[in-house]
Amino acid sequence: MFDTTVALSRTPNLLSRADWENWVVARSLYSIRIDSGVDARTPVTSADGRIPLVAMIPLEKGRITLVALDLNSQFQNVHPGAHRLLANLLTVQMEKQ
């Protein structure tokens, strides 16, 4: 699942359903565990919404972004959605809080 209300879905690339289709090997090889009490945004989760695959955690004046997606396999197979997602991750990470 992908939260389309966050900047990650539209800056600088507008991500669509096609960007998440035909991923090779796996969508994710790992998951992110978020301890209770941690203020984290999870714009990408498993289909059932229970397993965070991208988490953004505020930290002082910035944030930490954790990515559990299998981007490596997608880059090797030149999946355009993975490249657009990486550009968005880098852009959002550099934005001011």
The pLDDT score that the predictor gives to residue 97 is 47
Q: Which DSSP category does 24 fall into?
A: S
Q: What is the pLDDT of residue 96?
A: 55
Q: The pTM is what?
A: 0.85
Q: How far is CA 85 from the centre of its chain?
A: 7
pLDDT number for residue 27: 86
Q: How many domains does the chain have?
A: 1
Please indicate, yes or no, if residue 49 is contained in any of the structural domains.
Answer: yes
Residue 1 lies in a domain: no
What tens-digit pLDDT sequence spans the chain (97 residues)? Answer: 889 888 899 999 999 989 989 998 888 888 899 988 889 999 999 888 889 999 999 888 888 999 999 999 999 999 999 999 999 999 987 765 4
Rg of the chain taking only CA atoms, in angstroms: 13
Q: Structural domain of residue 83, as residue ranges?
A: 7-94
Tokens (6 digits) for 50: 């229970």
